Structure 1
Amino acid sequence: MKKNVITLLATACVTCFTSTAFSAASGPEYQTQAFDSPDRTFPLFYEQLKERMPFALAWNDDIKNPKQWRKRGLEKARDVIFPYQDNTPFMPMVIDEIDRGDYIAQKIVFNISAESRVMALKLIPKGRGPFPAALFLHDHGSKFDIGKEKFVETWNNDARLASSQDWAQRYFSGRYPGDELAKRGYVVLSIDALGWGDRSVEGFKTDSQQALASNLFNLGSSFAGIIALEDARAAQFLAHQPEVDRKRVAAVGFSMGAFRAWQVTALSDDITAGVVDCWMGTMKGLMVPGNNQLKGQSAFSMLHPTISKYLDYPDIAALSAPKPMLVFAGGQDTLFPIDSVETAFNKMHSVWDANQADDKLTTKIWPNKGHTFTEDMQEEAFDWLDSQFVR
């Protein structure tokens, strides 16, 4: 009897090793490598893992009640994305101020969280308010010496001014988009994300992010979660400024800042419109070899653990509906494959359409543009924003 049991076990083991996954006819009976090259840390079985991403709360055309879908999705998104809640008093203080003709530029300090008191750049139009407002959310760019200064021209700091001027020439047609919107009569607030500008340190570089992200995971939080929470806090701070019309507060972002813009437009009740340039696609569509989403480092600023169990990127952005939103993409932007962008745009339009608000969503692919926010793109975006905020 004992001999028969041993025989059965041996037969079972042979069957196990000659299964579909590892058959003797197709090669070794075990996995001999996990990656296709030493510089790739994407596992060979990534396609199978992608198929396991359920997006259980994702929008689909069978959903009959978009308001109910939004309520459920927002509850889950806020729970997954925000590491904690924070209601710390802002206690703002102006520490410097200059006159720029049509508007006043201030350096203002406030409590963005219980742990961090930060300095931001604030622009206030002259005249009688309340004014529309815009929260400017900077890009990543692997450039950490400046953050808020990428969008708003700084002063009394020659090194940062020179650095930001180079950045403006590279991506913004030599302009500061925040100052351009202030000239149109908007209150502007530009902040540093954790790791940029005043919240960075000399020598902080691309590799530093992975250690920062790991430490935040160990502390029960995440790099992306801290950024998301602080963006929502900054939105609340801006919306409650005495010069601001709370019904007209936009989030404006480029690249990583665009990710932050559609995210905070969805998650914050204080943001009433979003301007998003050069960051939209589906998760699966961006998970292709060579994409930045797969390289660690910069990706950690935008990766929320477990979110794919529930919602895709366009689903989260669509939680904004029926708020007005404009989304630009560059046809030559190698970071965002066009098929992924178009799939995301189509889903977003279906959600706004279900809310009888498709006229509030504008999406556009600029055929000859790369990863940029040039003067013509800025002017079209700001004209659109003016049209949404007209009284």
Structure 2
Amino acid sequence: MTAGGDPPGALPGFHPALKDELTFPLAWGTSRVRDFEAWRRTARATVEAHLLVDRQDDTPYAPESTAREDGDGYTRELVTLSLTRYGRVRGALLTPQGPGPFPAVLFLHDHGSRFDIGKEKAVRPWYDDTRLAAAEEWADRHFDGRFPGDELARRGYVVFCADALGWGDREPLAYERQQALASNLFHLGSSLAGLLAREDQRAAGFLAGLDRVDARRVAAVGFSMGGYRAWQTAALSDDVAAAVSVCWMTGLKGMLVHGNNTLRGQSAFHMLHPGLARHLDLPDVASIAAPKPMLFLGGGRDPLFTEEGVRTAHARLRAVWHSLGAAGRLRTETWPETGHAFPGRMQDAAFAWLDSVTGIRS
């Protein structure tokens, strides 16, 4: 017990007052800025400032690719490139067979407290038998045994998925090292979440710039932390035209409750931009992407998000798209029997929606 008689890890007594003081004054509809394009510029600039990582990184991608190998209706290759000036990153790139250019998906992998695999969580690792076993176990647990990146490639999308810092080929983190890494970056005037956001922006630019890709039809897709990354990238990158976010959307106040992972440090630091909550709630940041086509899917039995938080967020999102006359471009759904997962039937629904907004199916 703490000195105040609360269980270890309980929130301080003034926590409710701090939550009450969060009014999100820059939110669309609350802000004094009434023109949406002007609001978008202001809101995006505010988010950019809170990333704490320089926006102006024009380091050449300088991609290096392995030889292409055949998959099931697509080819596969590994690409090593520079997403920032701080190091090289390896990703999996899948390309449909046939004439392009093709629509494309930037697939953003989850956290999951498992670090030996990153890109392999979404794309079957044809290049590594050891990682294949781990990846298949992950796919069985969360995706009904599917690799969603491969599913999308079979449907006709170029798919790119790279390791985030601390996963796969990028010096996998032991779980206890995350907080130390985040703290060190803060001391250096930087941010773990900001670096992740910048890399995702750059990855979207790389994918959109490929000759094989129709730059007008690039989508961001992700599950769990990857879902957060998907809507964040759609909000911050003009290279992303649509997004699918699975199992990561909530109102901040509904998430800041005792026992939630967000308050435990560790994984929270991948999604924490210090001070941003004084200006915008989480769905307000996602709304910077409006009126792009966006799909938000959640599980009614997802233990990581409260029902109130999800309901609040979805309502705020719908209000923004509705105010722009674009309500039909936004879908927010909660699947009552689904937990924190992206099962096959949910994938089918999500990818069918994506097909409809990219025009891949006539």
Q: CA deviation at 1:290?
A: 0.8
Q: 1:153 and 1:340 mapped to 2: Cα distance?
A: 34
Which residue does 1:136 correspond to in 2?
A: 107
1:316 aligns with 2:285: yes
Structure 2 counterpart of 1:99, which letter?
D
Structure 2 counterpart of 1:181, which letter?
L
Q: CA deviation at 1:34?
A: 6.3
Q: 2:216 and 2:127 mapped to 1: Cα distance?
A: 34
Task: Say if 1:82 and 1:244 are closer, same or farther in 2 by CA, change over 3 A.
Answer: farther
Q: CA deviation at 1:276?
A: 0.3
- Counterpart selection for 2:253 from 261, 270, 284: 284
1:171 aligns with 2:139: no
What secondary structure is seen at the aligned counterpart in 1 of 2:91?
strand
Task: Say if 1:35 and 1:224 are closer, same or farther in 2 by CA, change over 3 A.
Answer: farther
1:368 aligns with 2:349: no
Structure 1 counterpart of 2:92, which letter?
L
Structure 1 counterpart of 2:349, which letter?
E
The structure having more radius of gyration, on CA atoms, is 1
Which residue does 2:346 correspond to in 1?
A: 377
What secondary structure is seen at the aligned counterpart in 2 of 1:48?
helix
Q: 2:195 and 2:261 mapped to 1: Cα distance?
A: 20
Q: CA deviation at 1:80?
A: 1.4
Which residue does 2:82 correspond to in 1?
A: 111
Q: 2:3 and 2:40 mapped to 1: Cα distance?
A: 40
Which residue does 2:39 correspond to in 1?
A: 69
After TM superposition, the score normalised by the length of structure 1 is 0.89
Q: Render the CA deviation track for 1:107-134: whole Å, top value 9, x for unaligned.
A: 0111111111111000011111110000
Q: CA deviation at 1:82?
A: 5.2
Question: 5+ residue gaps in structure 1?
Answer: 1-31
After TM superposition, which residue ranges in structure 1, 4 or more long, deviate above 3 angstroms? 32-38, 61-64
Q: Render the CA deviation track for 1:189-240: whole Å, top value 9, x for unaligned.
A: 0011111111124xx3221100010111111111101100000000000000
Task: Say if 1:127 and 1:35 are closer, same or farther in 2 by CA, change over 3 A.
Answer: farther
Matches within 5 A, 1:88-237: 88-201=59-172, 204-237=173-206
Q: Render the CA deviation track for 1:233-291: whole Å, top value 9, x for unaligned.
A: 00000000110001000000000000000000000000000000000101111001111
Which residue does 1:57 correspond to in 2?
A: 26
Q: 1:105 and 1:150 mapped to 2: Cα distance?
A: 15
Q: 1:387 and 1:95 mapped to 2: Cα distance?
A: 33
Structure 2 counterpart of 1:116, which letter?
G
Structure 1 counterpart of 2:99, which letter?
R
Question: 5+ residue gaps in structure 2?
Answer: none
| Deviates further, 88-97 or 296-305 | 88-97
Quick check: 1:96–1:108 contact (8 Å CA) kept in 2? no
Which residue does 2:210 correspond to in 1?
A: 241
1:387 aligns with 2:356: yes
Task: Say if 1:145 and 1:282 are closer, same or farther in 2 by CA, change over 3 A.
Answer: same
Q: Render the CA deviation track for 1:305-355: whole Å, top value 9, x for unaligned.
A: 010111110000011000000000100001111111011101101111111
Which residue does 1:79 correspond to in 2?
A: 49
Structure 2 counterpart of 1:303, which letter?
L
Which residue does 1:338 correspond to in 2?
A: 307
- Counterpart selection for 1:295 from 264, 275, 281: 264
- Counterpart selection for 2:243 from 257, 274, 293: 274
Which residue does 1:6 correspond to in 2?
A: none
Q: CA deviation at 1:98?
A: 1.3
1:258 aligns with 2:227: yes
Structure 1 counterpart of 2:227, which letter?
A
What secondary structure is seen at the aligned counterpart in 1 of 2:194?
helix
What secondary structure is seen at the aligned counterpart in 2 of 1:197?
coil
Supply the RMSD in Å over aligned alpha carbons.
1.6
Q: 2:338 and 2:218 mapped to 1: Cα distance?
A: 28
After TM superposition, the score normalised by the length of structure 2 is 0.96
Structure 2 counterpart of 1:106, which letter?
E
Q: Percent identity?
A: 49
Q: 2:3 and 2:24 mapped to 1: Cα distance?
A: 26
Structure 2 counterpart of 1:290, which letter?
G
Quick check: 1:66–1:354 contact (8 Å CA) kept in 2? no
Structure 2 counterpart of 1:149, which letter?
E
Q: 1:336 and 1:70 mapped to 2: Cα distance?
A: 27
Quick check: 1:56–1:310 contact (8 Å CA) kept in 2? yes
What secondary structure is seen at the aligned counterpart in 1 of 2:104?
strand
Structure 2 counterpart of 1:147, which letter?
G
Task: Say if 1:157 and 1:359 are closer, same or farther in 2 by CA, change over 3 A.
Answer: same
Q: 1:165 and 1:101 mapped to 2: Cα distance?
A: 17
Count of paired positions? 358
Q: Render the CA deviation track for 1:3-34: whole Å, top value 9, x for unaligned.
A: xxxxxxxxxxxxxxxxxxxxxxxxxxxxx966
What secondary structure is seen at the aligned counterpart in 2 of 1:143?
coil
Q: 2:200 and 2:176 mapped to 1: Cα distance?
A: 24
Which residue does 1:18 correspond to in 2?
A: none
Q: 2:4 and 2:114 mapped to 1: Cα distance?
A: 30
What secondary structure is seen at the aligned counterpart in 2 of 1:112?
strand
